[in-house]
Structure 1
């Protein structure tokens, strides 16, 4: 194996996220709501990049930064603080970095397939299409052990090139605003090693009425199929090993669910690269995602080995210690420095 290969290759849209928490409900026209919970930092594709890097994976990110304050701050955090390789990324002159304001709201019941997604957050975004496409950023993509991607209705050329290079593709999918849930999108799974949608997306795209039925359909299309279920945990099938696993979510108070699915995906990849059994991979991803929702934002809420180690040392419940006992042999001796969570405001740039 070439040790210089990235462990994880990523591309996608970067955002500067401003997250407000502690809201009793959404504001109404003419109303002003004060809250004492706020955090800011990189978002979008940065969620995956930081989550992967904090588990010690060599992470290469191809994205576009605006030549503004938001872009410079995100670049500094990703490259300087988190050690993400940005050699495939570009700074676009005159292009504004997309900015998202996220309102973390009381969670509602999960939606039916094709319905409205769970209202655990409301997003307002300012942004424009980036001047460089994913295919332009990637060109002939470098060989990598894995790539974490969000597949879309329009296939990306670089994805087929990466798969041909021997890169294992781990795919997720975003919410379909058209609510058409075209099954044609699933044709792209022929390039993928794993697919990790949430239950609403999985049921909608497979035209099934339960997460298990959706999992069964997806398992015929991709070697490793995972369906995340939010507060109900996750289920998965690995056809390469013949394993099936179903694990519950942990009982964790939710501050902000932004990016939890991305943290799940990056953690599942980290465990997969370690060759762990399916149940351990699934429990580890559920744990990491659960730990992330206790903090603001997506990227900087990722726990990394430091956060997992702190949690494991604090666990006293005998059942939980039995279920997660495998961590005793998985957590590295050096878990790294304490992770930096999303600040209320970024540090000032003094002259």
Structure 2
């Protein structure tokens, strides 16, 4: 298989799979609107949402990125396809479902939080079937609750590292059986409430250690307080301090953090630096209005750090050198990266 750049390897470096939406993001609202009232906000953005948040963020960071999802034959689906193509995301894995219209989500941000309203219906074809259209990739992001185990095990055997997250358990049963698909995954990225609830632990790091007994790499996100991570394959543990910013819109911040962490996993940076990189990219995103559609590109990172010297203080020197010298991230060649990580994955699964 040959990539568009002429390099022999996988079709994509990063693959995202899931539900696609069109997102309309209204941030910095003074309050929720009352019946009969119209509220204006200048902090507005729009773009492909859901699974597209991570795809766009990864592509802007220079990774060859593909997306696998369902779309309709309506005008909004066409609009999202065009926007994704403009972002250099490979959309060959998007399946058109005639007669179905893409759902639209409005994110209303006020009181340092947000409310979501979605119009439409979920895709009538399950993700487990859609993922069969997915191209080969080095790393892939999926929701654990809809992960297709046969596909995941086959992809893992080919060297794809699967990064899984999991949504809120509305039943609040936190059944450990929900995590059974972790056996096919390389990494798990829950938030602190999810991690502690599933493991019945009292602290994020304790939860990460418990989960690392089931999956090689665990990152527990702590919102504005940063993240903690445990890599059972290397023995590394790390805590990420937050990057201080004035948050204007947190819509899609988790998706952007996860995408940046996956992209960083294509380098040889140690765990702490991968976390810091993801934290930086997410922090820049939340400091801008418009949600994940404002995720930074590689060329944005050094100017942002130069404008915020109090944030750097040597913390991001690992990032400055490759960006200053070659203008891109120091990705490991595909074959070397896949072989190394697949070997580590196998060692944790005797």
**Alignment TM-score, normalising by the size of structure 2:** 0.86
Structure 2 residue 302 is matched with structure 1 residue 309: yes
Structure 2 residue 331 is matched with structure 1 residue 325: no
CA distance in 2, matches of 1:141, 1:250: 34
Q: Deviations over 1:220-274 (max 9, x none)?
A: 1111111111111111111222211112111111111111111111111111111
Structure 2 residue 89 is matched with structure 1 residue 101: no
2:286 is aligned, of 293, 301, 304, to 293
Kept in 2, the 8 Å contact 1:20–1:102? The answer is yes
CA-atom RMSD in angstroms: 2.0
Secondary structure of 2:118's partner? strand
Kept in 1, the 8 Å contact 2:183–2:214? The answer is yes
Q: Deviations over 1:73-112 (max 9, x none)?
A: 1100101x111111111222221111001001222xxxxx
Structure 2 residue 61 is matched with structure 1 residue 68: no
Output aligned runs, 1:132-281, within 5 Å. Answer: 132-139=125-132, 141-152=134-145, 155-281=148-274
Tell me how far 1:171 sits from its aligned partner: 1.0
Structure 2 residue 93 is matched with structure 1 residue 88: yes
Tell me how far 1:29 sits from its aligned partner: 4.2
Cα 1:42–1:141 change in 2 (3 A) is: closer
Once structures 1 and 2 are overlaid, which stretch shifts more, 17-26 or 145-154? 145-154
Q: Deviations over 1:176-233 (max 9, x none)?
A: 2222222112221111111111111111221222212211211211111111111111
Q: Following superposition, which runs of at least 4 residues in structure 1 exceed 6 angstroms of deviation?
A: none
Secondary structure of 1:88's partner? strand
Where structure 1 has 5 or more consecutive residues not aligned to the other structure, the ranges are 108-119, 337-351
Name the counterpart of 2:343: none
CA distance in 2, matches of 1:58, 1:67: 26
Name the counterpart of 2:346: none
Name the counterpart of 1:6: 12
Secondary structure of 2:301's partner? helix
Kept in 1, the 8 Å contact 2:55–2:67? The answer is yes
1:122 is aligned, of 95, 115, 120, to 115
1:37 is aligned, of 22, 27, 43, to 43
Cα 1:242–1:231 change in 2 (3 A) is: same
CA distance in 2, matches of 1:29, 1:205: 40
Structure 2 residue 46 is matched with structure 1 residue 47: no
CA distance in 1, matches of 2:290, 2:172: 27
Tell me how far 1:4 sits from its aligned partner: 3.8
Q: Deviations over 1:130-167 (max 9, x none)?
A: 13322322327543211111111675542232223221
Aligned positions, number: 322
More helix by percentage: 2
Cα 1:202–1:305 change in 2 (3 A) is: same
**Alignment TM-score, normalising by the size of structure 1:** 0.86
CA distance in 2, matches of 1:300, 1:289: 12
